[in-house]
Amino acid sequence: MFTDHDDLFPQAADEQVWWEVWLRDGRRENFEHIAEALNITLRTHAVRFPERVVMLALASTAMLDRMIAHSDVVAELRRAKDTPSFFLGLGGAEQRDWSDELLGRVRPPQSDIAVCILDSGVRRTHPLIEPALAVEDWHTVKPAWGSDDTPAWSGHGTRMAGVGLYGDLVPLLVGGDPVPLPLRLESVRILPPEDEANDPELYGAITAEAIARAEVQAPERRRAIAMAVTSASPARGRPTSWSAAIDQLCFEEEQRRLIVLSAGNIGDDLMPAEHLTRNDLEAVDDPSQAWNALTVGAFTEKVDIIDTDFSGYAPIAPVGELSPRSRTSVVWDRQWPVKPEVVFEGGNLAHDGVLPGEPIDDLQILTTFCRPELRHSTTLGDTSAATAHAARMAGLILSARPELWPESVRALIVHSAEWTPAMRARIDACNGAKGEIQALVRRYGYGVPDLGRALLSTVNDLTLIVEDELQPFQREGGAAAKTRDMKLHRLPWPKEQLAALGAAQVELRVTLSYFIEPNPGERGWTRRHRYASHGLRFRVKSATETVDEFRARINQAARDEEEGAPAGGGEEWLLGTFRDRGSLHADFWSGSAADLAERDAIGVFPVGGWWKEKPYLERVDALARYALIVTIRAPGVDVDIFTPVEAALTVETSVET
């Protein structure tokens, strides 16, 4: 029954530990009765999935042996993880006078778009926080804890809120312009007081409750939900109850959600020589393997050390490289998603050549402090800062385009990302070796996002966004199911302009984003398609294919994937079929403009999942929606490819059954 890492199994039969007990559907009441008879302590929180209910129990292996021997209620057992303890107490210079001057230029938000921080609470009375955080948007999952931030967690929630609202405060403090706030803040405290910190909880249920509190207060508000609370996990990309709960929260059809998670930090001391090697070996924390969430790692451009107290110190990471503590998915098994998908500024560490790196103020992000009566400013770094930056960008996209789906906002952030020169140099050095490139993508994601690229097209940089849906499967007599729909999108390429460019090199980038419905109550996920409800794939028409030939190729690709055969169609692309992991797929093609002119169709088609494999769960006929983003770039070419397509306005779409 035990499906967790072997090292987590208790050595003594009478040692009581906290367990995640995965119950068969409909057995919760029986389980509670048996637990009471065996004097097993239960938590009231529970997380429900299509075939499982997960509860937390304090028990010995001897107690569980008796329960399992005399009932069939338990399907699976895992160890509950300790309370996440992720935060760093980082000192910061006193900036009270500067923040007071900045406050005079701040204009309160007028829109109803919010960044919702799930953390240790937020000190609402901070002068820079108060204009954006109303009392009614200041929550806690347990009233006894209160909504306020406390020094017990180093004021982490208040630090996150400052970055989520303002970004790095330094350029605002040294500037003189008005600062209109385009976003509101919401805060939900999910971390307990210090004296409860070692008492484990079922974090999926806590996360769901926290989000519900914000949504009940403002049900019509659009929000980006940010959580930098993580726990070390040996899962190596496999779903856990917490990550699956995140996937479920994103997917819920009544209210799709945009959730931004931290990839987690390396907690041990780091020597300069360990940079990148340690990052590649230290896997992303739980729950950031969630398929539907946007997982954020950290990179840095902060290398200037001004403080004379650190004369002779040097930064560990060079400009444009991964932040020293940021985790990756390099060591994960191949079938799991790319995590993180993107990286944002997370600061750097400094070293003196002898001692491990340390987060000095010059190399961190300036933000708000939880005790403004002492000082207004402190610093934040690592993937916490990066996550807050990402949530802010998501909120700014929603502020500019409030009608966009969460799937589309996630796609725009990833689609706008580019590798820094330092990252790109490593990728180029692979000379097209896909295995090496794939490892680097698992380190850097798709690069550093840019808000301007996410929202704008210039005359030689054209982006098309499609929001659509299809029905992946249908019943085929009895309980069987088969693949049903694919979508063929005919793209209004500026053919004349591209053809006129002839052999000039252009770039094509495609991003496909959708949310899966999770079904985590299986042992091992050794068979294909067990966890995800469905998968979607994209293929682009080649220059020499007819539309009918393209349709036939897509149908063959779908059959190949269903049968476990090697999937084709990625040879000309940078990542190839490696892109088909998780629920966000992105890839890059480059070639001549004349060739691109004839690549004027994209097919989106489904592959199997538990919706198809388990028709008795009554999800066979469900619809799957997706966001598809396509960009043509003609760098360095003086040609207007935007205006001709702008005049066309729409993308022609056909459904193939």
More confident: 53 or 296: 296
Q: What is the pTM of this model?
A: 0.87
Q: Is 183 helix (H, G, I), strand (E, B) or coil?
A: coil
Task: Please say whether the beta carbons of 118 and 86 come within 8 A.
Answer: no
DSSP 7: G
pLDDT beyond 50 at 636: yes
Can you tell me the distance from the alpha carbon of 141 to that of 161, in angstroms, rounded to the nearest whole number? 18
CA 222 to chain centre: 18
R_g of the chain computed on alpha carbons = 25
Q: Could you tell me where in the chain the CATH 3.30.70.1140 domains are found?
A: 6-79
Residue 98 pLDDT: 66
Residue partners of 346: CB distance under 8 A and separation at least 6: 297, 298, 299, 300, 323, 325, 326, 365, 381, 382, 383, 384, 385, 386
Residue 211 has pLDDT above 90, yes or no: yes
Q: Of the spans 61-70, 318-327, 559-568, 616-625, which averages the highest pLDDT?
A: 318-327
d(CA 438, CA 575) in angstroms, rounded, equals 7
Q: How confident is the model at residue 377 (pLDDT cuts 50, 70, 90)?
A: confident
pLDDT at 321: 96
Which residue would you say has higher pLDDT here, 513 or 454? 513
Helix/strand/coil for 59: strand
**Percentage of the chain modeled with pLDDT above 90:** 50
Sheet holding 652-656, edge to edge: 535-540, 601-607, 486-490, 652-656
pLDDT band per the 50, 70, 90 thresholds, residue 348: very high
- Amino acid identity of 440? L
In 3D space, the residue among 466, 630, 484, 481 whose CA is nearest the CA of residue 555 turns out to be 484
Least confident span in 184-193, 455-464, 563-572: 563-572
- For residue 200, pLDDT beyond 60: no
pLDDT tens-digit series, residues 226-248: 999 998 877 788 898 899 999 99
pLDDT score for 527? 53
Question: Which stretches does DSSP call E strand in 274-432?
Answer: 294-300, 314-315, 321-322, 342-345, 350-351, 365-368, 377-380
For residue 378, the cross-strand partners are: 367
Which ranges in the chain are annotated with CATH 3.40.50.200?
Answer: 96-425
Query: Tokens in use for 91?
Result: 């000192």
pLDDT: is 440 or 592 the higher one? 440
- CATH architecture group of domain 6-79: 2-Layer Sandwich (3.30)
- Alpha carbon dihedral 343, 288, 628, 448, in 10-degree steps, equals 0
CATH, domain 96-425, list 3.30.420.40, 3.30.70.100, 3.40.50.200, 3.40.50.300: 3.40.50.200
Helix (H, G, I), strand (E, B) or coil at 36: helix
The pLDDT value given to residue 477:
65
More confident residue, 640 or 542: 542
Query: Reduced to 3 states, what is the DSSP secondary structure of residue 334?
Result: coil
DSSP state of 75: E
What is the token pair recorded at 275?
């940079």
User: In terms of C-beta density within 10 A (0-12 exposed, 13-18 middle, 19 or more buried), how is residue 168 classed?
Assistant: buried
Cα(20)–Cα(202) distance, rounded to whole angstroms? 8
Q: For the residues of 468-519, what is the DSSP string, one character each?
A: EEE--EEE-STT-EEE--EEEEE----HHHHHHHTT-EEEEEEEEE--PPB-
CA distance 149 to 126: 11
Contact 104, 30 (CB under 8 A): no
Write the CA distances from 322 to 86, 262, 295, 420, 442, integer angstroms: 19, 14, 15, 10, 12
69 vs 460: CA distance, rounded Å: 69
The reported pLDDT for the residue numbered 536 is: 94
pLDDT in tens, 459-494: 667 888 999 999 998 887 665 677 778 899 988 877
Average pLDDT over residues 445-457: 90
What residues contact 52, with CB distance under 8 A and at least 6 apart?
Answer: 22, 23, 24, 25, 75, 76, 520, 521
Q: What is the pLDDT of residue 566?
A: 64
DSSP E strands in 486-643: the ranges are 486-490, 505-513, 535-540, 584-592, 601-607, 624-633
pLDDT tens profile 522-545: 554 545 558 999 999 999 999 888
Helix 61-70 to helix 28-37 angle (10° resolution) is: 130
Least confident of 10-19, 143-152, 210-219, 446-455: 10-19
Per-residue pLDDT of 267-323, as tens digits, reads 989 999 999 999 999 999 999 999 999 999 999 988 877 777 888 888 999 889 999
Query: Edge-to-edge strands of the sheet including 624-633?
Result: 461-470, 624-633, 505-513, 584-592
Under the banding of pLDDT at 50, 70 and 90, the label for residue 92 is very low
Q: Which of 157-161, 368-372, 481-485 has the lowest mean pLDDT?
A: 481-485
Distance CA 53, CA 28 (A): 7
Beta strand 535-540 pairing with 652-656: unpaired
User: What percent of the chain shows pLDDT beyond 70?
Assistant: 89
Residue whose entry in the numeric block shows the structure tokens 């190949």: 560
Which of 286-290, 376-380, 646-650 bottoms out in mean pLDDT, i.e. has the lowest? Answer: 646-650
User: Which residues on neighbouring strands pair with residue 223, listed in sequence order?
Assistant: 114
pLDDT at 612 exceeding the cut of 70: yes
Distance, in Å, from the CA atom of 633 to the CA atom of 415, rounded to the nearest integer, reads: 13
